[in-house]
Amino acid sequence: MAAPATTRYEGQPILISGAGRGLGEGIAQRLASEGAIIGIVDIDGDTAMKVAQGIGSAGGQAFAYGADCGSRAAFMQVAADFARDAGPLRAVINNASVLVYEPIEQVTEDTLDQMLSAGLKSVFWGVQAFLAHRDDSAPGNILNYSSPVAYRGRPNTGAYTTIKAGIAGLTKVLAGELGPRGIRVNAMAPGSVPTPATEGFVTPEQYEQRAKYIPLRRNGTVEDVASAAAYLLSDEASFINGAMLAVDGGIIAAG
């Protein structure tokens, strides 16, 4: 990913959950290239370390932490460690999730518990961790992940859709609740974007088919999503609060 000419986030500590690969990794690289100090959190500590090392090799700053973001105690400890390592937090990006597509009758208690923990509970803990360790002297940012499935009834996505719809609602609540404290809360809804996390569920042929029904006639890229995240966290978006930015090529709009 080519480094932008700007340094909009120079010295700003930004914590990203589930950033050991995929969209989280891409956003971490993008924000680091613009001067941010990145906290990489992932349940797989090795992948978190690789991302942090890659950012360091590119001239950026990053710290790696292995933790289950569905655990409040673990997330709070990571935030405390990152604040110690990099300074009070300026933003948190709640990116962690577990993706499982299956018919409703096949959803098991174990699968649902795992998805709710990684994808929804982690958002609550991420917000609490940010509030406990934020830089009170500067505006704050919380960026959540929803999905087009929260707005369209796509079969076999019952658990995932429930989580992403919940995040959409929570984002609105938090925008009103935390706005008076100088914290903007927004969400993105990335559309069809091939990443390592989707390899076991969507084949290249299926992605090719998906592109035919996207108004822009292509799938998205990690760079598309990273650019949107960089904008929402920037001063250029300083009056945007409680928004859901569809980064989907027009999927939600076209129905």
**What residues act catalytically?**
160
Distance of alpha carbon 202 from its chain centroid, rounded? 20
* Per-residue exposure over 161-184, b if at least 16 CB sit within 10 Å of its own CB, e if not: bbbbebbbebbbebbeebeeeebb
Nearest to 52 by CA among 73, 75, 82: 82
Cα–Cα distance for residue pair 231/234, rounded to 1 Å: 5
Nearest to 92 by CA among 144, 168, 31: 144
- Sequence-distant (6+) residues with CB within 8 A of 194 are 202, 204, 207, 219
Length of the chain: 255
DSSP state of 3: P
Task: Give yes or no for a contact between 18 and 45, defined as CB atoms under 8 angstroms apart.
Answer: no
